[in-house]
Amino acid sequence: MKVEGDWLTAPATQAVFAMLDRAGHRALAVGGCVRNALLGAAVADIDIATDALPETVMDLAHAAGLKPIPTGIDHGTITVISDHVPHEVTTFRRDIDTDGRHATVAFSTEVAEDAARRDFTMNALYADARGGLVDPLGGLADLRARHVRFIGEAEARIAEDYLRILRFFRFTAWYGDPALGLDGEGLAACAAGAEGLDRISAERIGQELRKLLAAPDPGPSVAAMAQAGILARILPGAEVTALPVLIHLEQRADWVTRLAALGGDVGRLRLSRAELRALADVGGGARDGASAFALGDRLGARACDAVILRAALMGQAVDPTDLDLAAEGAAVEFPLAAADLMPELSGPALGAALQAARAAWHDSGGTLDRTALRRIALR
């Protein structure tokens, strides 16, 4: 079996392999880049595992005219910039101690030890500079079967880092075979270790949930999370009923709209202000009684998301007319300005008049012109 891809044969990547090989060190691409290449999926990040110590990697990179950055040198990782492309070069490792969040590691010279400390078998696949596959744990068979399976005992892998619970559902959503379902041992171990998620930071939980909800169809994984008591722990009050309906109706995969479909308390996700605003806009717009045109005027590009979510929450098909009205409301400008009502009105009376005129404009679907709106506002 050979790993192929432009990312592997690119001169920038081959230069990193070569700098290690010339010094007599082993260098293997590992993890997501190998997994995705074998699946024919896009490769975003390039990780290389080596038996060279971090300080050696630094020295070799300097000598080769590459730029090393000690991004995680204490844990064995050096980012090597080759032709402007970052490569995460990490020394083979084995775990000495773990506490559910962090691991104390020792450097190793053995690929098998490095593979054994990873999470899933499909992530413990390696490739040399020529694409030769190295599979110390039999991960290729699981990858071919689209079987997301923990390495060794699932409970032990989870106890090393409880974030792996969420990674299990995320990887299943992205790479698992829907017909196969979730790995039974893994699901049971996740349910048993759910309390460990309380030890994980909100940032890390939020990052994982974003990635999960961005999958082509996260519905089965999210439903399994709910059944296992995991969803309620990270998103209290969430309901999964509308999510599969939304996925069927939606025009694009959008994790914000999918999160709005779930509802619940997002306090454990540490969202940005912009994300919170988008979530409130879509979720609030879907659940209030505003017309589709009014949603367009209020929410702009997010209005169609709210219209589709509203249909999903009601278990109905989307009315194409509502989508057209939402798009129209987002495209046109309210034709009345405060200056149009002055000096007749000022202060709170002016604000109330503008609000009444805008409501009438919404009710008309944007057909009322400036003259008609001014007349309504000055009544």
Residues facing 103 on adjacent strands? 98
Spatial contact of 17 and 48, defined as CB atoms under 8 Å apart: yes
Residue 243 has pLDDT above 70, yes or no: yes
Determine the average pLDDT of the residues in 147-159. 96
| The pair of three-digit structure tokens given for residue 181, joined into one six-digit string | 């379902």
Span 115-124, mean pLDDT?
A: 96
Average pLDDT over residues 290-310: 96
**Would you mind telling me the total number of residues written for the chain in this entry?**
379
Q: What is the pLDDT of residue 56?
A: 97
Global pTM reads 0.90
How confident is residue 95, by pLDDT bands cut at 50, 70 and 90?
confident
Residue 100 clears pLDDT 70, i.e. is over it? no
Residue 103's pLDDT is 63
Average pLDDT score over residue span 108-132? 96
Over the stretch 324-368, which tens digit does the pLDDT of each residue have? 999 999 999 999 999 999 999 999 999 999 999 999 999 999 999
Q: Which phi and psi (to 5°) does residue 365 adopt? A: 70, 30
Radius of gyration of the chain (CA): 27
Sorting pLDDT into bands at 50, 70 and 90, what band is 99? low
Q: Which pLDDT value is given to residue 74?
A: 87
Q: What's the fold here for domain 151-234?
A: cca-adding enzyme, domain 2 (1.10.3090)
What pLDDT band is residue 101 in, cutting at 50, 70 and 90? low
What are 304-332's pLDDT values in tens digits? Answer: 999 999 999 999 999 999 999 999 999 99
* CATH class of domain segment(s) 1-145: alpha beta
3-state SS, residue 49: strand
Higher-confidence residue of 103 and 118: namely 118
pLDDT tens figures, 24-59: 999 999 999 999 999 999 999 999 999 999 999 999
Q: Where in the chain is the domain with CATH 3.30.460.10?
A: 1-145
What does the pLDDT look like over 209-226, one tens digit per residue? 999 999 999 999 999 999
Q: What is the mean pLDDT of the chain?
A: 95
HSE-up of 150 (CA within 13 Å, CB side)? 26
- Cα 162 from chain centre: 18
pLDDT higher than 70, residue 181: yes
The CATH 1.10.3090.10 portion of the chain extends over 151-234
* Largest Cα span, the chain: 87
Cis peptide, bond prior to residue 11, ω within 30 of zero:
no
Assess contact for 126 and 28: CB atoms under 8 A: yes
Distance (Å, whole) CA 142 – CA 132: 18
Task: Give residue 96's pLDDT.
Answer: 73
Q: Which two tokens stand for residue 246?
A: 């939304």
